[in-house]
Structure 1
Amino acid sequence: MTNNSLLGIHHVTAITDDAERNYKFFTDVLGMRLVKKTVNQDDIYTYHTFFADDVGSAGTDMTFFDFPNVPKGIGGTNSISRPSFRVPNDEALSYYAQRFDEFGVKHDGVQSLFDKKVLPFEEADGQLYQLVSDENNKGVAPGIPWENGPVPTDKAIYGLGPIEITVSYFEDFKKILENVYGMQTIVEETDVALLNVGEGGNGGQVILRKDTETPEARQGYGEVHHVSFRVKDHDAIQAWHDKYTELGIGNSGLVDRFYFEALYARIGHILIEVSTDGPGFMGDEPYETLGEALSLPPFLENQRDYIESEIRPFNTKRNHDK
């Protein structure tokens, strides 16, 4: 592994039609911490929310663009088809299955996938997810469970798990993941492969599925927008920009998102981002009140009054008297 290698999954971004409902589901049901409530830097009239571990560690955050008027997405091939979240062990899956029953969350019960236990479920908007057990898992280290969340810390989600991608051009896409992104195929079965990223394990894996029968997915709420993979720092992401240029892969150029640097490239139908591990989410808000106020990067701060007058407010303050 070189200093420029991908280290694992950085974040996954999906689309919601209701930031407030989505917030309640991720915090009150899943027990993930809202570590940043900001706006989409490319569309300041919409929210961008980040749910992660206790301190917003890279590799733990599921993020959402809030597009209230976007049509519902349609699942299908040539899409990022299912994000997943890590929990400490098999017992935690049983805990969540019971919790989902209590909250009326649609789920498929505990199952096995690549010799590990998983719990597939979906949000009210139809977005598909699954929990994956870290029991006997090795590889990319997890994050830190939300200390003051509603789920006991020995059961709670503490990182992103394998990201599932479904394409009709399975072999071609797998070669790109291997040859361009340095991923290693560790399991290959009929129409599905498991690839390691960085140190691998649940925090550094891609599940690639082949589907030539289902119509193409249509992006909208309830669908994933993009996946991001981790790199160490500015030098590493600059090396990726140079690599894309050398290979003739169209890309966004380096983008400073304040919380991290980003680089985007569309590979077939799949938008892949490369992001730096830092600076992170702890620099502009106190730990105790992360995500409770609207946070803006410095280049948008002079528009705060206008943004706050245009964007629909919703309350993310937590009870600190626990």
Structure 2
Amino acid sequence: MNHDSIIHHVSIINHDAEQSFNFYRNILGLNLLMKTVNQENYEMYHIFFADKYGRAGTEVTLFEMKEGKENQFGANAFDRLLFKVPSVESLQYWEQRFDQFEVCHYGIESYTDRSLIRFEGPDQTPLGLIVIADHEDISLFNRDENSVVPFEHQILALDSVHARVRYPEASKQHFQDLFNWKTYGQTAFFDTGLTVNILHNNNSEMYHEVHLIYDTFNPLEEQGFGAIHHVAISAEAESTLDDIAVSLDKLNMIHSPIKNRGFFKSIYYQDPNQLLFEVATLKLNMEAITFEEKQFQDIPLYLPEHLESKRTFIERQLQKGSTGL
């Protein structure tokens, strides 16, 4: 594929939707795009955060999974999601904010010549904030005058995803072939002694990276609460999804059929290291919604058109899931 693809969104598994909502909206200051339902399981909330226009490249989504276990750290898994912030001064602001809200963090560090803070979200989800790259244009990002976070320090968009893999060359080659991203070569992963291959896109408006950490020391991840479930890469149109399916078929790689999510269409597959990727069309088919409500339960449930006729049933199922009955 030769389009300038971006990281469309990143999806995370959390145990409690309301707790996650409070963290991402009221501590990180992210804009709530919608509270909807997992279309594979009507007992699970699916919450979307993005900029105020719902732009791909700014989206993080949360699945509520009431039953299961905590994530067991390991390889062949996504390791951390990093968000862009404007400056080192922003990191200093966030360091103080995390202390104020008793968020576990590791202070300001340097990685690939950029400053960042690694921190833990709900269910110990590994997250981070990193200063935008020198070549990025801050004026291309949308910020919110009404945010709980000062304008000059707000999170701008997704920046990068780290993944620990057994066979980095396999994932790197596959990703380059499928999406035409470039590579920086290798770097050191902090002071761990592990090496990292860094892939980056060619999109002038939304710069993103994928970091492949070569890890043969840790056991394989056992996915649970706090895990990054999948990463979605953008597709220009539904025809691009058809091309992706053909490419995967030629490699004898299992993938899903094209799914209509209402908001966009997408296809899922696992890469050579069993990382779960989604490829999703760019257009977000929904009207802009502004939420004044501060409490999770007060925010209305948004459903795509093809699920609206099932609203009563879905709301009942969500209530059942939240009570554990």
Q: Same fold (TM over 0.5)?
A: yes
**Structure 1: where are the runs of 5+ without partners?**
314-322
Superposition TM-score, scaled by structure 1 size: 0.89
Structure 1 residue aligned with 2:96: 98
SS in 2 for 1:104: coil
Structure 2 residue aligned with 1:253: 257
Q: Determine which of 278, 282, 307 is the counterpart of 1:277.
A: 282
Q: CA, structure 1 residues 32+236, in 2 after alignment: closer, same or farther (shift >3 Å)?
A: same
Structure 2 residue aligned with 1:74: 72
- 1:205 paired with 2:212, answer no
Q: Determine which of 34, 37, 44 is the counterpart of 1:36.
A: 34
Q: Does the CA contact (< 8 Å) of 2:6 and 2:206 recur in 1?
A: no
For the residues of structure 2 that align with 1:22 and 1:42, how far apart are their CA atoms? 20
Structure 2 residue aligned with 1:219: 223
Cα distance, 1:258 vs structure 2: 1.0
SS in 2 for 1:161: strand
Deviations 1:79-107 (A, max 9, x none): 00101111112211111111001100010
**Structure 2: where are the runs of 5+ without partners?**
189-194, 321-325
For the residues of structure 1 that align with 2:56 and 2:169, how far apart are their CA atoms? 30
Q: CA, structure 1 residues 25+130, in 2 after alignment: closer, same or farther (shift >3 Å)?
A: same
The letter of the residue matching 1:274 is: V
More helix by share: 2
> 1:136-215, aligned counterparts within 5 Å?
136-138=134-136, 143-189=141-187, 191-199=195-203, 203-215=207-219
For the residues of structure 1 that align with 2:159 and 2:104, how far apart are their CA atoms? 20
For the residues of structure 2 that align with 1:252 and 1:55, how far apart are their CA atoms? 28
Q: Which moved more, 1:129-138 or 1:34-43?
A: 129-138
Structure 1 residue aligned with 2:242: 238
Deviations 1:143-169 (A, max 9, x none): 412332201122101210111111011
Q: Does the CA contact (< 8 Å) of 1:139 and 1:203 recur in 2?
A: no
Q: Does the CA contact (< 8 Å) of 1:134 and 1:202 recur in 2?
A: no
Cα distance, 1:244 vs structure 2: 2.1
Q: Does the CA contact (< 8 Å) of 2:262 and 2:306 recur in 1?
A: no
For the residues of structure 1 that align with 2:114 and 2:35, how far apart are their CA atoms? 33
For the residues of structure 1 that align with 2:226 and 2:130, how far apart are their CA atoms? 20
Cα distance, 1:218 vs structure 2: 0.8
Q: Determine which of 306, 310, 313 is the counterpart of 2:313.
A: 306
For the residues of structure 2 that align with 1:75 and 1:219, how far apart are their CA atoms? 8
For the residues of structure 2 that align with 1:200 and 1:174, how far apart are their CA atoms? 22
Q: CA, structure 1 residues 143+44, in 2 after alignment: closer, same or farther (shift >3 Å)?
A: farther
Cα distance, 1:257 vs structure 2: 0.8
Q: Does the CA contact (< 8 Å) of 2:140 and 2:205 recur in 1?
A: no
> 1:38-77, aligned counterparts within 5 Å?
38-77=36-75
Structure 2 residue aligned with 1:286: 289
Superposition TM-score, scaled by structure 2 size: 0.89
SS in 1 for 2:124: coil
> 1:9-20, aligned counterparts within 5 Å?
9-20=7-18
For the residues of structure 2 that align with 1:135 and 1:96, how far apart are their CA atoms? 18
For the residues of structure 1 that align with 2:292 and 2:241, how far apart are their CA atoms? 31
For the residues of structure 2 that align with 1:42 and 1:141, how far apart are their CA atoms? 38
Q: CA, structure 1 residues 53+128, in 2 after alignment: closer, same or farther (shift >3 Å)?
A: same
The letter of the residue matching 1:254 is: I
After TM superposition, the runs of 4+ consecutive aligned structure 1 residues lying more than 6 A away are none
Structure 2 residue aligned with 1:264: 268
Q: Does the CA contact (< 8 Å) of 2:112 and 2:187 recur in 1?
A: no
SS in 2 for 1:100: helix
The letter of the residue matching 1:54 is: K
Q: CA, structure 1 residues 200+116, in 2 after alignment: closer, same or farther (shift >3 Å)?
A: farther
For the residues of structure 2 that align with 1:107 and 1:312, how far apart are their CA atoms? 34
Deviations 1:283-304 (A, max 9, x none): 2x53456993101112221111
Q: CA, structure 1 residues 93+135, in 2 after alignment: closer, same or farther (shift >3 Å)?
A: farther
